[in-house]
Amino acid sequence: MTEITDELVIRGNHIKNRIVMPPMVTFSFRGDNGSYYGKQHIEHYTKRAIGGAGLIIVQATSVFGAVDSTGMWSTGDIAALKQIVSNCHAYGATIMLQLHCGNMNINEFSTEEIHSMQRNMKQAALRACEKGFDGVEYHFAHGFTLCKFLDASYNRRTDQYGGDALNRARVLTQILPDIRNNTHKNFIVGVRMGEYLPESKDGIEAARAFEKAGIDLLHISFGMEPPANPVPEGFICSPMTYSGCKIKKEVNIPVIAVNEIRKEEQVRFLIENDYVDLVAVGRGMLADPEFANHVINSEPVNTCAGCKRCFWFTDHTLCPARSEE
CATH number for the domain harbouring residue 34: 3.20.20.70
pLDDT at 122: 98
236 occurs within a structural domain: yes
1 occurs within a structural domain: no
22 occurs within a structural domain: yes
180 occurs within a structural domain: yes
Query: pTM above 0.95?
Result: yes
pLDDT at 323: 56
pLDDT at 318: 78
323 occurs within a structural domain: no
Q: Which residues of the chain have pLDDT under 50?
A: none
Cβ 178 vs Cβ 214: under 8 Å: no
pLDDT at 320: 82
Rounded to an integer, what distance in angstroms lies between the CA atom of residue 238 and that of residue 242?
6
3 occurs within a structural domain: no
Q: Which residues contact 116 (CB under 8 A, 6 or more apart)?
A: none
pLDDT at 307: 80
73 occurs within a structural domain: yes
324 occurs within a structural domain: no
pLDDT at 325: 53
pLDDT at 249: 98
Whether the ω angle into residue 230 lies within 30 degrees of 0, i.e. cis, is no
> Number of structural domains, the chain?
1
Structural domain of residue 17, as residue ranges?
8-318
At residue 96, what is the residue type? M
pLDDT at 304: 82
Tell me whether residue 12 is exposed, middle or buried, using C-beta atoms within 10 angstroms of its C-beta: 0 to 12, 13 to 18, 19 or more: exposed
